[in-house]
Each structure stands twice: as structure tokens, then as C-alpha cells.
């Protein structure tokens, strides 16, 4: 895969040693055909990149030199005039001549999704940084007498001085939440660079500095129509960075509000290319995506997938995502080939405004958002968020029932220390309850690794994400709370102005047309639900989401055989943590349709396959060293 990799030693200046271990890491990066590597070495420091020369994209990594040092960058950085070249940007060049305390000031102004590395020859200082949101994964390991880093985790596993013991806290968190909290990875001594972070390493001293945090500064309500106008103007300008005159990009369409708004803007700019949707043939997403495409007078590319497609692509999906999230959330891996054959660029509707708007996981009625800290709001906050706490407790009880006895005590100790609760559920960084609900970290951790961007980028497609444009995020942080409900009233109002026809289409069978917002929408939706209960009609056998893994695991014999073989027949990696008889019971309940355990089974598959891939990587490395 393409990316950046490197190593620095705190004392030795043996260039032969540096080159040896740099080439060792490079061998793990050069796993695919049509790739080339470039490296730079200076005494105790080595830096390299891997890129694909046939893939014309400014997101590819670039290696550059400067009289004061050298560095590398991967990803996209935008300026007022669009995508600019790192090599000729004065702002970036100034990072070499400024002391470390001023680095954050310059990086905070860089708009885009990127990772960067700078090495200063004069004082042998290493600086690593990423964008505000940490969209692109980046890993590092401080092994005592130096630091190794890479865009991928596997090159770090090739270094014998990096401790590759499993991180037990990651295992617990992964099976509770589906991903690890904070900067943890599966490996104890390998960490993930947190979002908006600068890593500095100089003569054995390593420090991590946050240069940006989401600061919610809700302004007075003002005029809603003016705010809608501002949002449309900022959102449309996001497309100016991306759309090229010669490019007709594709768009992933679910029929939801986020992707629908992207399609509306592209249609307005006469830049609407191929629309894609993924489905198992029984998805409501396909149904509403088809309605959106029909309203835009364009064709929808419906890509249907089956259990065998999942079986054929699961290992590749886990390898690309590096086991960071359940494979059941990597459904786009099933259609990557279909998309890359049709387009060279794709729009991704990943929407951080879900996090900044907040409340997508709460059940607070929209009419409570009139006053931030009113007593009714505090009361409903406690009542309507009880299901979240109950769901977490149920997950803990379920996990406790399938763990080995010795590992149950570790789970309880982890909970006793308050790590999970304080970090994930009750983050008290913000005293204001609305800011607690808006807290970025919890919601975005999962979005960060389930986004389609890295998947397509590693298969030679340019990925554009207009919702990640910094001016749009800064605008969202200042919105009044009544525009922050989980119903996304601002996006609904914007869609109604940009394309009224799309705003007439509901988002689901229970929904009203997307144009409705506020108390009026809540009231009409309540009436609609009551009337359906009084006069229930025949419900369509459709589900929300692209794929119904619960049904697949219940009905597909080929998938049941595959899951059984991968989990039970290769139970070795799980035996230290899970009770095999209990896992067998969980699988039987799923296969017989007694209980939906699909989320947990997806986590098991991910853990087993990723564990195998790591073991194979280490084995191949050891054999190569012997040879």
C-alpha cells in the first residue's frame, strides 16, 4: 500500500544500520505490484515513501528535501485557490525554520486530511503531525532508544526491538464498542497518532502536543434563514476544492440526508457523475437512493452483494483496515472493484456534523433545544439517555458470559478503574450537558475507521469529503443548540432550498418528507406512528442499512460454514480470552435465529483473521532474516 515510513535512533549515527531497518520496513509496504519506494537517510534518521506511479493523485505521498532537512507528506491540503503543492508552499517550508512551539500554529491553518513528517538536520529533531480530525491512520512505536513510524501498522511489526505483545485493554474495548478507545492499537507498544497532534522527538525525548480541539462556542440564535444561507455558501465552496473541470466523480448514495445533499450540489454544478449504492437486495437504502436518483433524472448503479462476496473479500478488507473495526462495518470493501472500474474519483458523505450537531445517539425531542440548560432539558437528558447506559451494561454482561474466568476479572478491574465509563460515556471535559453531548471523541472514533476514504484511496481512487472542510466545521461549532438536534434541521432546510424535489422524498418509511423540521415534524411523525399502530398494514420485508448480516448468518449455509471454520476450528488465538463452549452456544443461537449476535460474531471474525495476518507477517519476516 502507499504511505510513509521511517525510523530514528537517539544515539547511533550508523547509516548502514538505519538503512537496514528502513529497508526492512519498506519490504512490508511494497506488497502490491506497480509500486515504487523512495528513501532519504541522514546519520541516525531514515525516511521513506511508497507510491503508485500509475495513480495520478495529489493524495499520494511525496518526499521532499530542504537545505535545513527533509520530510514527507501524504493526503490532501487545500488553500483558497484549491489543492496546492507542498513543495512550493511557503507556509509549509516555514516549519523547518521555526522552533517546535510554533509548529502547531502553522499546521492548524492547513485545511485537509493529511499526515506529515519533518526532520531538521541542525538539531536532529523529528516532527510528525496530522490533520485536525486524524482522518488518515498513522502509527508510531517508542522502543526506548528510538522511534519507528508508519502509515500502516505492519511495517512496525517487522522490527525485532518493537514489543508486539497484545494489548488486553484493546481487546476488551473492541468487543464492547467495536473499536479501541484513545490511541490504543492491538499491539501494546504501538500507538495511533491522535487527531490534531504533533509528535516531537529529540535526543531520546518524545512529546505529544494537541494543537486543536473542538471548542463549542454557541452563538446567539440569530436569524435561522441567515444561518441556512451561510451553511449553503460554505458547503458549496467545499466543492470548489475538489471538482476538476475534466473530472466527473462518482457519489456513494444511501438515500439519507448527507449523501442526498452532496448529490444535490453536484447536480446543481452540473458535475453529477455515477451514483452508486450497495445492497443485499432487501435494503431500504437502495429503495430511497433509487427515488433520489430518479428525481435527479440520472441512473443509479445498484451493486448487489451476496454472502459469497463477503467471504471472498473479508480478509482483504481486514488487511486494509488493519483490524481497527468490525468487518461487518466495512461493507464498501465488497464493491471497491465495481467502483474503481467506473470512476477515478468518489465523493464520500462521511459527515462529522453528526458529531458536532451531537444528539444523534440521544432521544431528546427537538423542542427542548430552545434553552441550553433549562431544567426540563436536564430532566429529559437523564431520562432519555438511560437506554444508552442500559445497552452498555447489557454488552458488559454478554461479554462477561463468554470470557474465560481469569479474563472476567480483568474486565471487571478495567471497569472498576472507571476507564470505560469515564472515557466513553461520561466524559466530563465539558460541564455543560450540551457540550457533553457534542463531545467529538466518542462518536468520531468509530466514524474515523469505518469511513470509505482509506479503502478507496488504497485502490487508486481519489476520495473527496466536502463535510470535512475546516470552514464548515468551524461554522458548525458556533451553531445555536436548536439547530443541533439529531434530526439535522439545518441540512433539511438547506436541501429544501437547493433542490426542493429531493426534500419531498422521505428518509424512511416512518419518516415525513425531508423538508419538515422542528416541533411540527415531531408532532406529525408522532401522529403517523400512532396511526400505523392503530391500523397496521403489511410491512415490506426490507431492512435499514446496506446488508442485514443477522439474516445472512441465519439463512446462508455457506456463511455459517465459513464462520464456524474460522472461529471454532482456528480457536487458538481466542482460547486465552474466550470460553469455546460459550462461543459455540452464541453461534448456534445466531444460526438458528434465536438471538441476534451478529455484531459480536463480526468482532470475533475480525479478531481471528487480523491475529492470523499479524502472525504471518512476523513468520515471513523471521524466515526472510534466516535466509
The tens digit of pLDDT for each residue in 18-27 reads 888 999 898 8
User: What pLDDT, on a 0 to 100 scale, did the predictor assign at position 273?
Assistant: 79
92 has a pLDDT exceeding 70: no
Look at residue 543 and tell me if it is in a domain.
no
User: What pLDDT, on a 0 to 100 scale, did the predictor assign at position 91?
Assistant: 57
Q: Which of 213, 238, 262 is the last residue of a domain?
A: 213
Do 172 and 306 share a domain, yes or no?
A: no
Do 411 and 457 share a domain, yes or no?
A: no
Do 588 and 516 share a domain, yes or no?
A: no
Spatial separation of the C-alpha atoms in residues 274 and 536, rounded to whole Å: 38
Spatial separation of the C-alpha atoms in residues 464 and 133, rounded to whole Å: 15
Do 425 and 465 share a domain, yes or no?
A: no
How is residue 189 annotated by DSSP?
T
User: 141 or 145: whose pLDDT is higher?
Assistant: 141
- Other Cβ atoms less than 10 A from the Cβ of 434: the count is 19
Instruction: Return phi, psi of residue 339, to 5°.
Output: -80, -45
Q: Of 77-86, 276-285, 486-495, where does the model show the most confidence?
A: 276-285
Q: Which of 181, 213, 245 is the last residue of a domain?
A: 213
Cβ atoms of 50 and 26 within 8 Å: the answer is: yes
Spatial separation of the C-alpha atoms in residues 304 and 529, rounded to whole Å: 31
Cβ atoms of 169 and 184 within 8 Å: the answer is: yes
Q: pLDDT tens digits, residue range 320-340?
A: 888 888 888 777 777 777 787
* Pair type for strands 275-279 and 300-304: parallel
Cβ atoms of 231 and 475 within 8 Å: the answer is: yes
Tell me the three state secondary structure of residue 417.
coil
* Pair type for strands 82-83 and 3-9: unpaired
Do 410 and 495 share a domain, yes or no?
A: no
User: What pLDDT, on a 0 to 100 scale, did the predictor assign at position 221?
Assistant: 61
How is residue 164 annotated by DSSP?
-
- pTM of the predicted protein model: 0.86
Look at residue 364 and tell me if it is in a domain.
no
User: 198 or 404: whose pLDDT is higher?
Assistant: 198
For the chain, give the percent of residues with pLDDT over 70: 70
How is residue 561 annotated by DSSP?
H
User: What pLDDT, on a 0 to 100 scale, did the predictor assign at position 398?
Assistant: 82
User: What pLDDT, on a 0 to 100 scale, did the predictor assign at position 47?
Assistant: 95
pLDDT-wise least confident of 166-170, 260-264, 291-295, 596-600? 166-170
442 has a pLDDT exceeding 70: no
Do 209 and 229 share a domain, yes or no?
A: no
Domain carrying residue 381: 374-431
Beta strands in 131-212 (DSSP E): 139-142, 146-150, 191-192, 197-202, 205-210
Look at residue 174 and tell me if it is in a domain.
yes
User: What pLDDT, on a 0 to 100 scale, did the predictor assign at position 419?
Assistant: 47
Do 81 and 125 share a domain, yes or no?
A: yes
CATH number of the domain encompassing residue 516: 3.40.50.620
CATH number of the domain encompassing residue 12: 3.60.20.10
User: What pLDDT, on a 0 to 100 scale, did the predictor assign at position 381?
Assistant: 45
154 has a pLDDT exceeding 80: yes
Look at residue 601 and tell me if it is in a domain.
yes
For the chain, give the percent of residues with pLDDT over 90: 23
Do 13 and 161 share a domain, yes or no?
A: yes
With bands split at pLDDT 50, 70 and 90, how would you rate the model's confidence at 436?
very low
User: What pLDDT, on a 0 to 100 scale, did the predictor assign at position 626?
Assistant: 47
With bands split at pLDDT 50, 70 and 90, how would you rate the model's confidence at 166?
confident
Look at residue 541 and tell me if it is in a domain.
no
505 has a pLDDT exceeding 70: yes
**Residue 426 CB contacts under 8 Å (≥ 6 apart), including other chains:** none
- Other Cβ atoms less than 10 A from the Cβ of 579: the count is 18
Total number of domains constituting the chain: 4
Do 76 and 166 share a domain, yes or no?
A: yes
Do 425 and 492 share a domain, yes or no?
A: no
pLDDT-wise least confident of 173-177, 408-412, 413-417, 542-546? 413-417
Mean pLDDT within 28-40 = 80
Cβ atoms of 112 and 91 within 8 Å: the answer is: no
User: What pLDDT, on a 0 to 100 scale, did the predictor assign at position 252?
Assistant: 87
Mean pLDDT within 304-322 = 88
470 has a pLDDT exceeding 70: yes
Do 281 and 254 share a domain, yes or no?
A: yes
Instruction: Return phi, psi of residue 63, to 5°.
Output: -105, 135
- Tell me which residue of 606, 484, 612, 609 sits closest to 177, measured CA to CA: 606
Cβ atoms of 326 and 178 within 8 Å: the answer is: yes
Q: pLDDT tens digits, residue range 493-502?
A: 899 999 999 9
User: What pLDDT, on a 0 to 100 scale, did the predictor assign at position 456?
Assistant: 61
438 has a pLDDT exceeding 50: no
Look at residue 624 and tell me if it is in a domain.
no
Cβ atoms of 317 and 220 within 8 Å: the answer is: no
Crossing angle (nearest 10°) for helices 307-321 and 598-626:
60
Q: Which residues pair with 3 in a beta bridge?
A: 50
- Cβ burial 102-125 (10 Å sphere, 16+ → b, else e): ebbebbbebbbbbbbbbbbeeebb
User: What pLDDT, on a 0 to 100 scale, did the predictor assign at position 451?
Assistant: 53
User: What pLDDT, on a 0 to 100 scale, did the predictor assign at position 421?
Assistant: 44
Look at residue 438 and tell me if it is in a domain.
no
With bands split at pLDDT 50, 70 and 90, how would you rate the model's confidence at 319?
confident
Do 468 and 392 share a domain, yes or no?
A: no
Look at residue 38 and tell me if it is in a domain.
yes
Spatial separation of the C-alpha atoms in residues 426 and 270, rounded to whole Å: 46
User: 549 or 448: whose pLDDT is higher?
Assistant: 549
User: What pLDDT, on a 0 to 100 scale, did the predictor assign at position 429?
Assistant: 42
Spatial separation of the C-alpha atoms in residues 624 and 627, rounded to whole Å: 5
**Any idea how long the chain is?**
627
pLDDT-wise least confident of 87-91, 145-149, 208-212, 608-612? 87-91
Q: Which of 213, 239, 268 is the last residue of a domain?
A: 213
Query: What is the average pLDDT value for the chain, to the nearest integer?
Result: 76
Amino acid at each position: 500500500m502507499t504511505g510513509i515510513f521511517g525510523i530514528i535512533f537517539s544515539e547511533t549515527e550508523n547509516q548502514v544500520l538505519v538503512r537496514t531497518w528502513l529497508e526492512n520496513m519498506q519490504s512490508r509496504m511494497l506488497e502490491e505490484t506497480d509500486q515504487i519506494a523512495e528513501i532519504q537517510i541522514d546519520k541516525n534518521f531514515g525516511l521513506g515513501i511508497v507510491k503508485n506511479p500509475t495513480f495520478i493523485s495529489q493524495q499520494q505521498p511525496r518526499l521532499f528535501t530542504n537545505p535545513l532537512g527533509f520530510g514527507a507528506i501524504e493526503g490532501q491540503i487545500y488553500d483558497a485557490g484549491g489543492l496546492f503543492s507542498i513543495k512550493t508552499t511557503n507556509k509549509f517550508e516555514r516549519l523547518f525554520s521555526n522552533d517546535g512551539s510554533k509548529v502547531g500554529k502553522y499546521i492548524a491553518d492547513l485545511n485537509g486530511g493529511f499526515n506529515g513528517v519533518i526532520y531538521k538536520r541542525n538539531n536532529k529533531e523529528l516532527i510528525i503531525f496530522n490533520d485536525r480530525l486524524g482522518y488518515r491512520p498513522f502509527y508510531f512505536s517508542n522502543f526506548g532508544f528510538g522511534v519507528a513510524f508508519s502509515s500502516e501498522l505492519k511495517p512496525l511489526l517487522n522490527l525485532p526491538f518493537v514489543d508486539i505483545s497484545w494489548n488486553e485493554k484493546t481487546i476488551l474495548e473492541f468487543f464492547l464498542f467495536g473499536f479501541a478507545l484513545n490511541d490504543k492499537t492491538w499491539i501494546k507498544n504501538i500507538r495511533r497518532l491522535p487527531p490534531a497532534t504533533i509528535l516531537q522527538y529529540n535526543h531520546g525525548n518524545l512529546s505529544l502536543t494537541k494543537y486543536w480541539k473542538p471548542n463549542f462556542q454557541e452563538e446567539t440564535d440569530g436569524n435561522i434563514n441567515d444561518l441556512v444561507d451561510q451553511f449553503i455558501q460554505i458547503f458549496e465552496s467545499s466543492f470548489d476544492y475538489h471538482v476538476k473541470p475534466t473530472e466527473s466523480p462518482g457519489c456513494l448514495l444511501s438515500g439519507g440526508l448527507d449523501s442526498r445533499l452532496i448529490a444535490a450540489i453536484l447536480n446543481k454544478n452540473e458535475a453529477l457523475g455515477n451514483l452508486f449504492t450497495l445492497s443485499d437486495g432487501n435494503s431500504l437504502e437502495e429503495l430511497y437512493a433509487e427515488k433520489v436518483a430518479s428525481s435527479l433524472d440520472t441512473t443509479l448503479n445498484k451493486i448487489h452483494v451476496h454472502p459469497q462476496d463477503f467471504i471472498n473479500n473479508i480478509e482483504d478488507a481486514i488487511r486494509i483496515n488493519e483490524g481497527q473495526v468490525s468487518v461487518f462495518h466495512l461493507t464498501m470493501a465488497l464493491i471497491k472493484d465495481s467502483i474503481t472500474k467506473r470512476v477515478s474519483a468518489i465523493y464520500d458523505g462521511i459527515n462529522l456534523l453528526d458529531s458536532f450537531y451531537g444528539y444523534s445517539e440521544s432521544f431528546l425531542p427537538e423542542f427542548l433545544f430552545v434553552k441550553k440548560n433549562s431544567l426540563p432539558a436536564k430532566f429529559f437528558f437523564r431520562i432519555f439517555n438511560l437506554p444508552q447506559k442500559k445497552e452498555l451494561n447489557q454488552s458488559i454482561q454478554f461479554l462477561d458470559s463468554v470470557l474465560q474466568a481469569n479474563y472476567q476479572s480483568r474486565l471487571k478491574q478495567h471497569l472498576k478503574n472507571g476507564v470505560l465509563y469515564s472515557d466513553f460515556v461520561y466524559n466530563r471535559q465539558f460541564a455543560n450537558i450540551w457540550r457533553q453531548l457534542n463531545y467529538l471523541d466518542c462518536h468520531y472514533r468509530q466514524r474515523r475507521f469505518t469511513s470509505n476514504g482509506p479503502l478507496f484511496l488504497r485502490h487508486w481512487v481519489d476520495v473527496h469529503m466536502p463535510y470535512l472542510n475546516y470552514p464548515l466545521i468551524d461554522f458548525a461549532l458556533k451553531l445555536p443548540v436548536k439547530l443541533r438536534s439529531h434530526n439535522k434541521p439545518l441540512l433539511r432546510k438547506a436541501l429544501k432550498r437547493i433542490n426542493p424535489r429531493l426534500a419531498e422524498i422521505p428518509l424512511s418509511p416512518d419518516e415525513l418528507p425531508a423538508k419538515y423540521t422542528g416541533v411540527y415534524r415531531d408532532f406529525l411523525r408522532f401522529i403517523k406512528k400512532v396511526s400505523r399502530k392503530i391500523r397496521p398494514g403489511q410491512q415490506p420485508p426490507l431492512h435499514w442499512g446496506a446488508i442485514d448480516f443477522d439474516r445472512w448468518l441465519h439463512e446462508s449455509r455457506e456463511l455459517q460454514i465459513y464462520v464456524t471454520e474460522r472461529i471454532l476450528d482456528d480457536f487458538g488465538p481466542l482460547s486465552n480470552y474466550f470460553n469455546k463452549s460459550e462461543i459455540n452456544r452464541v453461534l448456534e443461537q445466531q444460526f438458528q435465529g434465536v438471538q441476534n449476535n451478529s455484531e459480536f460474531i463480526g468482532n470475533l471474525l475480525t479478531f481471528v483473521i487480523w491475529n492470523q495476518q499479524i502472525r504471518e507477517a512476523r513468520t515471513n519476516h523471521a524466515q526472510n532474516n534466516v535466509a
